[in-house]
Structure 1
Amino acid sequence: MNRLGTATSPYLLQHADNPVHWFEWGEEAFTEARRRDVPLLISVGYSACHWCHVMAHECFEDEATAALMNEHFVNVKVDREERPDVDAVYMSATQAMSGQGGWPMTVFATPEGHPFYCGTYFPKPHFQRLLSGVAAAWRDEREQVITQGAKVVAALTDASSFPTGPVPGREAVVEALQNLTGEFDPVRGGFGGAPKFPPSMVLEFLLRHGGAEALSMAEHTLSAMARGGIYDQLAGGFARYSVDAKWVVPHFEKMLYDNALLLRVYTHWWRTTGTVLARRVALETADWLLAEMRTPEGGFASALDADSEGVEGKFYVWTPDELREVLGEEDAAFAAAAFSVTRAGTFEHGASVLQLLNDVPDSARLARVRAALLAARAGRVRPGRDDKVVAAWNGLAVAALAETGLLFERPDLIEAARQAAELLDSLHIDRGRLARTSKDGRVGANAGVLEDYADVAEGLLALYSVTGETRWFARAGELLDVVLDRFGDGEGGFYDTADDAESLFQRPKDPTDNATPSGRFAAAGALLTYAALTGSARHREAALQALGTVSVLAPRHARFAGWGLAVTEAALAGPVEVAVVGPLDAPNTRALHRTALLSSSPGLVVALADTEGSDMEGDPEGDAEGDTAHPGGSGVVPLLEGRGPVRGAPAAYVCRGFTCRMPVTSPADLAEEISGTAAGS
C-alpha cells in the first residue's frame, strides 16, 4: 500500500494517492527490500519542482507504470528539503554516473542502499522500459549489479574529501575578485550564462568588500534582477532563477531561502549606497514574505509552486488583452509600455512576464496600475504552497527580517523575526538538538543538519543584535556548541550530518555554496560572530579553520565560495565589535544602536544592553580580553561586561579583538569611531 498519508512533508502528501506503493525513507523500506529480495527505487524531489510534477502525472499516477514499480521494486519517495543528507549522497552518485544532476532524481539501489543506476526525469515510455530492464538485470545479472553498486560507493567515498588550504587572507580575496570578474556578464549582470541564478552569497561578498569594481558588479546585478522578470513586479519576491541570461523569464517557483538571502542583500545594498531601488525591493520583498509565506504558527513556509492549474507561470503572466480587460484602453497602454508587455510576448502563447526596465516618471499612475493588476491577479488560481517550516531557511529569514526591520524602522518586521525565532525555539529545539522541519505545529522526525544549526544560530545572533534580548544569544551559543562537538571532521572542517545521525552509505560533506550558503561557511560565519561577542578563542579558531577551503576555491571557483568569502571579509576586518549600553527606550540609545547597524564594516557585530535600573559602570579603558565560551551565570554578553553609560548618558564602545577605544555618546562620534577602527584593519 501507499504509506505516505501520515507524512509531514507536503511533497510526500502530494503522492499519497498514487497507485505506487510508496514508502517514506527509513528502515521499514530497507527491511522490506531485503525481505522481498528486490532493489530500492528511490525518487527524490520537492513540492515546487515543475518536472517533479510532470513525472508524477506521467508515471506515478499511471496504473501500468505503478504496477511495474510495485512488482519489481520497493519504492521510496524522499523530500529533498526534509532530507538534504539523503539527497546529497544520491546526487553525488547521480552526477558521477550520468554527468548531470537535477530533480526529480531517480535512483536504483541495492537493499543496502548502494546506488547502481541513477538518472533524473524520465518520460513514461522510457521509464517503463528502464523499469523492465533494471528488473531483468537484478534477476539475471545480480552479481554484476551488486558489484557495480559497491564500486560506486567506493569511488564516492574515495572522492569525498575536499582539499583545504591555509586561512584565507587578502591574496585569496584578490584571486576571487579576478575569477568573478572573468565570469561576470557586463551587459546583463550576474555570472555565467543561462540558466542564471541569483548569486546571493557572492553579492554579499562584493558588498562587504567594497571598492569600485566589486560594487559595480554587485549594483549592476542587483538592479538587473530587480527590474527583470525574475522579480515579481506586482507583489514583490524573487523567483528561483531565470531560464535565460537576461533575467526575463523565470522558473516561477518562489523559495523562502532565495527571498531571505536576497532581502538581506538588498537591505545591505541600501545600507552601503542609499539607493532608492534597493530600499523599494527590500521592503516589497519583506512585505511579500509576511503576506505570502507566514504560517499560522509564526514560521515561514518553504516555497510557492511554479504551476497553477497545471501550467507553469500562469498566475504571473499577462497579455495585452488581459491588461485592457482590467485597466481599460489608456491605462493598459501605459502598463504595457511600463512592464514590457508586447503582442508577441516574452513567455508562452503570447503572454509576457512583467518587467520594469526603466524608471516611470508618473509614479502615482504606476502605483495605481500595479494595485489594480495585483487585485485582479488575486482572483486567479494561486500556485500551491509548501507550508512546512525548514529550520535553516527560517534562520535566514529571521536574520534578514530583523536587520531590515531595524534599518528601515519597521517594528512589524522585527516582531515577525521574533515570532519565527520563538517557533524554532519552542518546537524545533529539544534538549539542545534541532529538528529539521515542522508542519502545522507538529515537529518532523528528521534531525537537523549542519546548515540548520548554523543558519538558525546566525538568525538568533542577528535578532539579539537588533533587540538586545540575551535569550537569543544564549540559544545560539548552545547550537554552536553542538556544531563543534558533533559535526567536526577532525581536519578543521565539518560534516553536514552529526556524528549520531542516521548512517548513510556516505557521510555528506559539501564545502561549497549552492542555492544557500554551505553548512561549512554558514557555521564559520556564526562562529565568528559568536567569538566576537564572547572573546572565545575556540569559536574563532574553528571559524578560521573552516574557511580554509576558500583558499582552494577562490582562484577558479569563487562563485561557489561566496559566503565563505563574505565571512573572510568579516574576519579580515576584525570584525569590528560595538557595545551599545543605555536604556532601550531612550532616543539616544536607539540612535547609537541604529548608527552601529548602519555601518557597512564587514561582519560588524553589535551587542546591546538595556541599563534601565542597572548599576552598570563604564570602563573607559575597555581592554577586556578572554576566552569565554558563554556569558556565564551573570547573563551578560561578555562584550558588554564592564561597559556602561558614561556619566549617566547612553554610550557606545567600539572594539576590535575585545580591545576597545574610548566610549562615545553621540551617533556622529560613533560613526567616526567605527570608520576609524575599520580603517585600522
Structure 2
Amino acid sequence: MANRLASATSPYLLQHAQNPVDWWEWGTDAFEEARRREVPILLSVGYAACHWCHVMAHESFEDAATAAYMNEHFVNIKVDREERPDVDAVYMAATTAMTGSGGWPMTVVLDHDGNPFFAGTYFPDTPRHGQPAFTQVLQALAEAWTQRRSEIGDVADNVRRHLAAAPTAPDAAGSSQVDPGAAVEKLSEEFDPMAGGFGGAPKFPPSMVLEFLRRAALAGLESEHARKAAHMLARTAAAMAGGGMYDQVGGGFARYAVDRGWVVPHFEKMLYDNAQLIGLYARLDTGNGDRIARESAEWMIRELGTAEGGFASALDADSEGVEGKFYVWTPAELVEVLGAEDGAWAAETFEVTEAGTFEEGASTLQLRHRPADSERLESVKARLLAAREQRVRPERDDKVVAAWNGLAISSLVDAGLLLEERRYLDAALEAGELLWRLHVVSPDRDARLLRVSRDGVAGAHAGVLEDYGCVAGGFLALVQATGDRVWLERASALLDTALAHFRAEDRGFYDTADDAEALVTRPRDSSDNASPSGTSAMVHALLTAHALTGEGRFRTAAEEALAATSVLMTKVPRFAGWSLAASVTMSDGPLGIVVVGPPGADRDALAAKARRKPGAVVVVTDGARDDIPLLIGRTPVGGRPAAYVCRGFVCDRPVTTPEDLA
C-alpha cells in the first residue's frame, strides 16, 4: 500500500512511496501532526542517485518492524535534497556542526519548531564498524524525548543559536579583486603532483578551480604563477579524462573517484558535473579536450535529454542492485564481445586485468595513452557501447532542475560554438525555452523561478539563488549564440528579481528569497561545492549582463558580492574557484567583443579568435543594431568584417584580422 509520497513529483520521493514508513513531505502539515501527537520529527534527506540512500532504504525503511517503530514514535519526513536545497543546507550545517562531518542519507531529528537535537548520516540495520543499529538510535531518541526533554531542549537551543549566528561580514578592506598569483600558490600547496587534482581520496572534479587556473594562466601573471596554473590545469584535466571516472565508452563523467588516482568512481553520473566539464574541456583548445567535450555532450543529450527539451538530473550508480555493474568489464567479457585478438588489445589499451581494479575481478576502463590506431580504437569503443546497451541500465532521475539546466545551456553553447556543432546550440535553445515556459512565473512583473519540473509539469518549490544565477547565465549565453535580444530581456528579468529579493545587508546574497518559507535560519553560503554557489553564479551573470547592456547597477552588484567573498577567495581558493574566475575576468573588463560584418570565412575567423579570450562576452552580428546596447554603432570597416574590443563600452579601434584581434 502506497504512502503519502505516491503523489510527489520527485523521483527520489517516489522511490519511497511503497515503504511501510508513513512518510510525509516537508510542510506545515507534518509539523502540526507532530505537535498533535507530541512526538519528534525524523527528517531523512537524500537524492535519487545516492547509493547509500538506497542501502539504508532497503535495510531499514523497507523493513516492517523498523517502519512500525518509526511510525509509532516519530513523524517521518522525507526530503529530496535536489528539490529542496534550502532545507538540505540548513540541516547539513547542523549535521556538520554536531558530528564534524556530513553526507547523504542525512538523518536529523527535530523538535516541533524545526530545531535539530540529533543528527547523523547512514545508520546500518545492525551494529557494524562501531556504528549502532538504526533501531538502537531510534529507541534512544524516543526514550530521550519522553524522559529527558529538558536536555533535548538545551541541545536544540544551542544548535539553533549556532545556526542563527550572523555570517562573517567581509573585511573592511574586502575587494572584488584578489591576488590571483597568491591563489595559484595556495592551490599549488594542495595539488597532487602525481595524480592531478587536489588533496587525497576521494577526489571530486574541481571544475570551477580549473577554469580559474585556465584564466589565470592566460591573464599575464608573473611567469612562475602562470606556469604553475597551466601545469595544474593540464595535469588534472588529462588525469580525469584518462581515468576510470570518465566513461571511456559512452562519454560523461561520474560524480567522483574513490581513490587518489581517478581509477574507481562512485558511478552515479550527475548533470551538474557534466554540464560544467563539457564547457571546460571545450575551452581548453586541445585535441583531447575537444574529444572529451564532444563525447560528453553527445552522452548528455542522448542519455539525460528529456522529451520536453530539458535535461534530467542524474543516472543512478547502481543497476540490478549492484554499484557500477553497468560500466565495468573483465578480460573474458571483452573477448566475448570483441573476439580474442581485439579483446586482448582492448584489455591492454583500457588496463583491464585479471585481478581487476574494482570488485570481483572487474575493472573500470582507463585510457591513459591513446593508441596510434585510432580507427581500431573507435571500432572497439562502438562495439563495447553496443554490447553495454544490452545490460540492465541504471535508473534515471528525470526531474529537471533549473540551475543545472542553466549550466547545461552555458556549456552546450560553448561546445557548440567552439566545436562548430549546431546540434549542441539547438539543444541549448530548446532547454532555454523549456525553462522560460515552464519554470518562470509572472515573467511580466516579478519574474520568479520554480526549482524543478518533471514530465512537463512544474513543481511547487521556489527557486533558490543558484537557480537565478545559473539560468540567467544560460540565457546570456544564448544571447551570444543567437544575437536575439529576447534572451537578454529574460536574463535581466531574473537578475532584477534576484537583486530585489536575495541581497544581504553587506551587499552579498542569501540563498533564499526574502519572502521564501522561513526555516530555522536563512541559508547563506558563498563557497562553491560540486556546482557554483548561488553567489558566484550571480556574479558571472551580472558581469555578462553589464558587458551587454552597460548598466552600472549590474557591475556594482557583482563587485559588492565579490567583495563579500574576498576572505573565502583568499583563504580557501579550492572552494571559491568560480568567484576567482570572475575576479580575474573583472580585472580586464570583462571584455565585450562585437564581431560585425557579412557572414563568411573572414567573419568566422574573427569570431573564433574572439571566443578563445577567457571570460569575454562575444556577439556576432551582420551590421549595426540598436536592440542590444553593446552592438550600437558597431559597423563593418570598408565592407569587411571587423571586431570591436570594448571595456565598459569604451572600445579600441576596430580590427579586421584575427592577428590584430589577438
Do Structure 1 and Structure 2 share a fold, with TM-score over 0.5? Answer: yes
The 8 Å contact of residues 170 and 565 in structure 2, kept in 1 or not, is answered as no
Q: Which moved more, 1:236-245 or 1:147-156?
A: 147-156
Residues 451-530 of structure 1 mapped to structure 2, 5 A cutoff: 451-530=466-545
Residues 179-578 of structure 1 mapped to structure 2, 5 A cutoff: 179-210=186-217, 211-270=226-285, 275-431=286-442, 432-578=447-593
Letter in 1 for 2:352: V
Report the identity percentage: 58
SS of aligned partner of 1:107: strand
Measure the CA separation in 1 of the matches of 2:96 and 2:169.
17
SS of aligned partner of 1:238: coil
SS of aligned partner of 2:530: coil
SS of aligned partner of 1:554: helix
Letter in 1 for 2:632: E
The 8 Å contact of residues 391 and 428 in structure 1, kept in 2 or not, is answered as yes
The 8 Å contact of residues 595 and 667 in structure 1, kept in 2 or not, is answered as no
Pair 1:579 & 2:600 matched: no
Q: Which moved more, 1:432-441 or 1:171-180?
A: 171-180
2:221 corresponds to:
none
The 8 Å contact of residues 177 and 562 in structure 2, kept in 1 or not, is answered as no
Pair 1:596 & 2:610 matched: yes
Residues 164-183 of structure 1 mapped to structure 2, 5 A cutoff: 164=171, 166-168=173-175, 172-183=179-190
Measure the CA separation in 1 of the matches of 2:362 and 2:632.
61
Q: Select the residue among 147, 157, 162 that pairs with 1:155.
A: 162
Q: Which moved more, 1:358-367 or 1:645-654?
A: 645-654
Per-residue CA deviation, residues 124-173 of structure 1 (Å, 9 max, x unaligned), is 23110111111111111122212321221111211544545645476531
Per-residue CA deviation, residues 407-436 of structure 1 (Å, 9 max, x unaligned), is 111000000000000000100011111000
- CA 1:127 to 1:165, structure 2 compared with 1: closer, same or farther past 3 Å? farther
The 8 Å contact of residues 165 and 552 in structure 1, kept in 2 or not, is answered as no
SS of aligned partner of 2:375: helix
Gaps of 5+ in 1: 618-633, 676-681
1:64 corresponds to:
65
Shift in Å at residue 661 of structure 1? 1.7
Measure the CA separation in 1 of the matches of 2:429 and 2:410.
10
1:654 corresponds to:
645
SS of aligned partner of 1:295: coil
The 8 Å contact of residues 317 and 354 in structure 1, kept in 2 or not, is answered as yes
Measure the CA separation in 1 of the matches of 2:475 and 2:330.
44
SS of aligned partner of 2:139: helix
Measure the CA separation in 1 of the matches of 2:171 and 2:616.
26
Measure the CA separation in 2 of the matches of 1:162 and 1:24.
35
Pair 1:606 & 2:597 matched: no
The 8 Å contact of residues 172 and 550 in structure 1, kept in 2 or not, is answered as no
2:630 corresponds to:
639
Pair 1:16 & 2:17 matched: yes
- CA 1:610 to 1:433, structure 2 compared with 1: closer, same or farther past 3 Å? farther
Shift in Å at residue 80 of structure 1? 0.2
SS of aligned partner of 2:245: coil
1:141 corresponds to:
148
The 8 Å contact of residues 168 and 568 in structure 1, kept in 2 or not, is answered as no
Measure the CA separation in 2 of the matches of 1:376 and 1:164.
58
Q: Which moved more, 1:136-145 or 1:483-492?
A: 136-145
Measure the CA separation in 2 of the matches of 1:288 and 1:162.
43
SS of aligned partner of 2:260: coil
Shift in Å at residue 329 of structure 1? 1.1
Letter in 2 for 1:654: V
Shift in Å at residue 538 of structure 1? 1.1
Per-residue CA deviation, residues 341-377 of structure 1 (Å, 9 max, x unaligned), is 0000000000000000112111111111111111110
Per-residue CA deviation, residues 615-644 of structure 1 (Å, 9 max, x unaligned), is x48xxxxxxxxxxxxxxxx6x111112223
The 8 Å contact of residues 173 and 554 in structure 1, kept in 2 or not, is answered as no
Measure the CA separation in 2 of the matches of 1:560 and 1:24.
32
1:623 corresponds to:
none
Per-residue CA deviation, residues 193-249 of structure 1 (Å, 9 max, x unaligned), is 000110000000000111221011000000000000000000110000000000000
Measure the CA separation in 2 of the matches of 1:203 and 1:165.
29
CA RMSD in angstroms, aligned pairs only: 1.5
Shift in Å at residue 595 of structure 1? 3.0
Measure the CA separation in 2 of the matches of 1:295 and 1:471.
24
Measure the CA separation in 1 of the matches of 2:266 and 2:594.
44
Per-residue CA deviation, residues 268-294 of structure 1 (Å, 9 max, x unaligned), is 112xxxx21111101001111111110
Letter in 1 for 2:608: R
Measure the CA separation in 2 of the matches of 1:269 and 1:184.
19
Letter in 2 for 1:659: V
1:627 corresponds to:
none
Pair 1:53 & 2:49 matched: no
Measure the CA separation in 1 of the matches of 2:629 and 2:423.
29
Measure the CA separation in 2 of the matches of 1:71 and 1:507.
32
The 8 Å contact of residues 526 and 565 in structure 2, kept in 1 or not, is answered as no
Gaps of 5+ in 2: 127-132, 218-225
SS of aligned partner of 2:5: coil
Shift in Å at residue 650 of structure 1? 3.8
